[in-house]
Amino acid sequence: MTETLRIPSSTGRPPLRADFTAGKGRDLAVVLPGLRYGCDRPLLRGTAALFERAGCDMARLAFDYAEDEAFMTAPDAEQFARIAADGRDIGAHLSAMRAYERVWLIGKSLGTLSMGAALSAGIGASERTRAVWLTPSLLGTPLLSWMRNWPGVGVAVLGTEDPSNRPELLEALGRQPGLTLRMVAGADHGFDHAEGRDAARRAIGEAIDTVEQWRKQQL
């Protein structure tokens, strides 16, 4: 059964919403979607399913940034500040629910900024937290600096056609302790593929398989 969580905002905005599904209660997986890439989209849906099948409690965030005109027209610095504040609120609220043995953070694009801000702020013990960075938003954002502030273990998956596929950014990721980086040929930021839907499905499958292999290594 799925219930709705209301996560209070420290900025005075309406509460953030998450759909929560109970599993075995030992581990928690938090799914943080992109700006227009919701938890029901193929890459996030398939990745989240790995953790749901493993018995994790699941919290899937429902972001509404794309419908907020004030947010969409705000300067980048204001957008990043709000995403960061929301990410810290999410992390603090969910980590206080119970003493989970392990917390898996799964972010896509904008969601990687949310989790990056929370981790950089020290929310969640690094020895109990694992990060799944799907198409991390590295270009023109504070994300890389936030990732450097966190000493934990994670996996990052990027398509070769993603705007963040730049030598200097990949080199920086490669120097990040505890981070496994995997590139998927032909995939863009939304994990579409120039060769069409079948190629996109294969790329998504490759990304999900990468996360599953990495997840099993953490057990």
Domains of the chain (ranges; CATH) run 2-217 (3.40.50.1820)
* pLDDT, mean of residues 128-156: 97
Question: What residue type is assigned to position 161 of the chain?
Answer: E
59-106 confidence digits (pLDDT tens): 999 999 999 999 999 999 999 999 999 999 999 999 999 999 999 999
Count other Cβ atoms within 10 Å, centred on residue 121.
Answer: 16
Mean pLDDT, the chain, whole residue set: 97
Return the pLDDT at 19: 98
Return the pLDDT at 131: 98
* CA dihedral of 195, 199, 201, 202, whole degrees rounded to 10: -160
Ordered alpha helix ranges (H), 54-166: 69-72, 76-95, 110-120, 143-148
182-202 confidence digits (pLDDT tens): 999 999 999 999 999 999 999
